[in-house]
Amino acid sequence: MSFPTAGPPPPLTVGLPDGRRLGYTRYGDPAHRAVVYQHGFGTSGRALPPDAALLARLQLQILAPDRPGTGQSSVYRPLTFPSFADDVVALLDALGIAGPVGVMGWSVGGVHALALAARHPARVAAGQLLSTCLPLGEPEAYRHLSPLWKALRWGQVSFPWLNRTTFLWLSGQWRRHPDRTIDWFIRLMFAEEKRVSHQHRALLRDAAAWGFAHHGRGVYDDAQAWCRPPGFRIEDVQAPVRLWHGAADGVWAPGNIPYLAQRLGGAPVHLLPGQGHMLYLENWTAILEEMAGMMNA
């Protein structure tokens, strides 16, 4: 699948009630129905295919906010899933969007999408979880984590200074050597993620460099929030939700996706053979067509 070669739209900002700035990228016509995109860990809202023709056909716009400490968003401590859900509602209010919106989240952004739907049910009409993760700090979900993810959470909680130092160093690498850094990350990926990332190298490079602004503070705070109790119940999500996951996902194996779908009232799952963690880039048209249909319903 090919996308237009034009880059993403220019970044925008709004003021939040407490005086902070929230950065976001708007894809599509502001007059069309809104979908909120929650970005993944270590990246930003600028990681979406800029397919204006597709959005025009479906009469959708996408609002992709950057979490605190990412892009032009002010640093905020302590970041939580509920605090960012409230930030997104403040963004919608500032833009005059009062009706229910769609929400989608990729990777850990899926947990942020769930938090928005659970905390503000009247503002969410439909949701999609794309290669989603589980909240690492919820005891019930923790029992379903793989040994690797349990170890990663233990490291983040036990040695936060080490992670802070790592993200600070990576921020400098993304700022000074973005091409070398994206190539290094791609070499470390699993086979399916590596294949797709090669095809979308420039998009992912620029989105990650934007994501590691503020000396990597936003990435660190995002990791800390992910490891703490989530502050919402998955079962409180009222909007219809669909899950998209790759059977060859090397980052978040699909084994616990049926468990998450069950907690969402038996939400349908698209399990795609041979696809990995970056599947949203390969299935962008089908994902948006499904969202448009869910919002029409």
**What CATH number does the domain containing 80 carry?**
3.40.50.1820
- Residues 249 and 277 sit within 8 Å (Cβ to Cβ): yes
CA-based angle 36:37:41, to the nearest 5? 145
pLDDT at res. 180:
98
Note down the domain range covering 67.
12-296
Is 3 domain-assigned?
Answer: no
Q: How far is CA 281 from CA 107, 204, 227, in A?
A: 13, 10, 27
113 domain residue, yes or no: yes
Tell me the backbone φ, ψ of residue 164, rounded to 5 degrees.
-60, -40
In the prediction, which pLDDT does 6 show?
59
- Decide if 269 is inside a domain: yes
Domain count, the chain: 1
pLDDT for res 7: 75
Task: Decide if 32 is inside a domain.
Answer: yes
1 assigned to some structural domain: no
User: What confidence score (pLDDT) does residue 8 get?
Assistant: 82
pLDDT tens over the chain, length 297 residues: 333 445 789 999 999 999 999 999 999 999 999 999 999 999 999 999 999 999 999 999 999 999 999 999 999 988 999 999 999 999 999 999 999 999 999 999 999 999 999 999 999 999 999 999 999 999 999 999 999 999 999 999 999 999 999 999 999 999 999 999 999 999 999 999 999 999 999 999 999 999 999 999 999 999 999 999 999 999 999 999 999 999 999 999 999 999 999 999 999 999 999 999 999 999 999 999 999 999 998
Q: What pLDDT is attached to residue 5?
A: 43
CA atoms within 13 A on the CB side of 156: 19
Domain contains 211? yes
Q: Which amino acid is at 26?
A: R
